Every structure is written in C-alpha cells, then in structure tokens.
Amino acid sequence: MENHRYKKPEWLRKKIALSQLESMRLILAKGKMHTICEEALCPNMGECFSNNQATFLILGNICTRACTFCNVGAGTPMAPDPKEPQNLVDTVETLGLRHVVITSPTRDDLADGGAEHYCRVVQAIKDHDSGIRVELLIPDFHNKEKELEKIAFSGAEIIGHNLETVPRLYRIRKGANYERSLNVLKRLHRLNPNIHTKSGIMLGLGERDDEVLQLMKELVDVGCRLLSIGQYLSPSSAHTPVIEYVHPDKYEYFRKKGLEMGFDFIKSSPYTRSSYMAHEYLQEEG
C-alpha cells in the first residue's frame, strides 16, 4: 500500500485513451521498435502517441539493473539488433519526427554498455536527414571516458542522463551512484561543450526542498542547463512507494529557482517526464 500523505489528487488523474494507442502501436510493431513510453507505463502516452511522438528504447527492453522505481524488466538481454538503426530511421520517417528522443535500458552485459550502438543509431538518422535533432537519454556507462567520448561526439544535439533523486534516496537506483551520475554529465560537457546536457528528477519520494535545490545547484556547476522535474508514480505495489503527491505550486517554485541558478530551460509539473514535450527545450534553436 502506498505511503503517500493524500489520496491521488485531482491534478494526477490523467487517463490513457486506448483509442489513441492503436495506430502508433501498429507503426512501432512494423519497425520492431520498443518505446520507454510503454515499458514505463507513462501517463502521457496517449497524448504523445496521438501526436505521433514516442521515445524509442533501443538495445532491447530488458535491463541489467533492477531499480525499484522503474517498470522496465530486469534480466538477461538479447544481443543488439544490427538492423535496429535502419528500422528506427524508417519509423522516424513514417512518423515525420523532427526531434527524435532515444534511450535504452542499462546494458552492463556489453563491453561498451551499448555506446557504439547508440552512435550507429544517431549516424543512421543523420545520414537520412541531418536536419533532424537527436536527443539521447543514456545510462551511466560506469562513467568510462572512452564510451562517453563516443556519445559526446555521436552527433546528438542533446544528451541527457537522469539523476532521478537526491543522494540520500539513492537506494532506489540499484547499481547507480549519485556522484558517478553527476560526473557523467560533467564529463560529457567537458568532452564536447557544444552539446546540451540535460537531466531529470522525480519528486514525491521523501526528498526535502533543500536537497532538491542543492542537487540543482550541483547540476548547474557541471554545466547542465536543461532539466525536467516530475511526480514519481509507483508502477505497482512491488515498487518503491509514493511518499507524497507534490502540489503543482512546488514545481513552479523549483522551476523559478532553477532559472535563477542558471538553467536555460526547466519543464516542471506533476506530469513532466524526461522526454515529455522534449522539442520545447531548445525552441530558440528551431
């Protein structure tokens, strides 16, 4: 049973309209594509799918870690599909996407964590149409410089890595480390200052305001200028429970504080997710 302070409030009652999913699912099935939207049971899925938007999950849908907040299945993954880059390009073309968001499960089973496969996917998109903006949401690659250098110069315009929560609550991220994740963003920015680095966090896990503000300051200090802040929603009773449903006013408070700190863009609301309305983060660049 969830240990939140209140029953689910009115601002967290978005319903997924099944009628909005079928067309997208047919397109994804044809391209043999997974999406984090479906794997993570994202509450924005109906809205995004109805607008032909999705966040692609490459390198399969099985993770080698088992974070207690995440609904992606854990286990032994399949080998990377060499046809996946072209399949993704074909799907992107069908959907008419101009901003493509790509993520993956953590693949600790692969020597390079899947970094080279990421690069092949980005290159395939850019070869198809160099004007398509590519955003990657990557695992930590154990903060290995060789792998992060590949990612930093993959051709993607935005590279995200989520801190997810404050250091005190990192027990929810099995196999992860707060300092390591922060250093991933620091290293990406140092390797290629021309890319935009991005991170995301969840509220409602029991974090304090001062801890969130300190996390945000540390992101700014490592060159991260794009941030998403959203409400954690437990996928099931077997996952980490929600401690609090955070009022929308608090999201606006953190957004304003973050812009004062030096972030260029922050999307902050209960339903915000890492890639929700991702094209808005660099609107000024077209």
pLDDT confidence band for 2 (50 / 70 / 90): very low
Domain layout of the chain by residue ranges: 14-198
Distance, in Å, from the CA atom of 260 to the CA atom of 130, rounded to the nearest integer, reads 34
Largest CA distance in the chain: 51
216-273 pLDDT tens trace: 999 999 999 999 999 999 888 888 999 999 999 999 999 999 999 999 999 999 999 9
Instruction: Check: CB of residue 137 under 8 Å from CB of residue 160.
Output: yes
User: What's the CATH number of domain 14-198, 3.30.70.20, 3.40.50.11740, 3.40.50.2000, 3.20.20.70?
Assistant: 3.20.20.70
89-130 pLDDT tens trace: 999 999 999 999 999 999 999 999 999 999 999 999 999 999
Distance, in Å, from the CA atom of 179 to the CA atom of 82, rounded to the nearest integer, reads 33
pTM over 0.85: yes
Burial class from Cβ neighbours inside 10 Å (0-12, 13-18, 19+) for residue 72 reads buried
Sign of CA dihedral 171, 175, 177, 183: negative
Residue 69 CB: number of other CB atoms within 10 A? 21
Residue 114's SS3 state is coil
